[in-house]
Amino acid sequence: MAGHTGIDRNELIDKEAKSTAKGKSTDPKLLPCILRQKLKVSASALKQGQYKHTIKKWRKTWKNVQRGKRDHQIDSSSPSKNFLKLKSNAKLP
């Protein structure tokens, strides 16, 4: 039994949350003006996107250079996630 069962407002909120989770949303015209604005992108999301882009570009380059081709023959999973994590650390030279 849920802790808030039987509380009217909570039941309504649960119903709306489930609807939203299924991809349904409120008509923007019915929302307050402040909620009609586009959401700003978080710094974390930008960093994650840049990281993924950099890794993709680096892997493509690595596969095309001689050393990368030789390394791939030895270990087809290269470059490893740990190596890429170290490589992306700005504190390392």
- Domain range summary for the chain, segments of one domain joined by +: 43-93
**φ, ψ (nearest 5 deg) of residue 45:** -65, -40
CA distance 43 to 3: 35
Apex CA 16: angle with CA 2 and CA 39, to 5°? 120
Taking a C-beta distance cutoff of 8 angstroms, is the pair 69, 60 a contact?
no
The model carries a pTM of 0.41
**pLDDT tens for residues 45-72?**
888 889 889 888 888 888 889 988 888 7
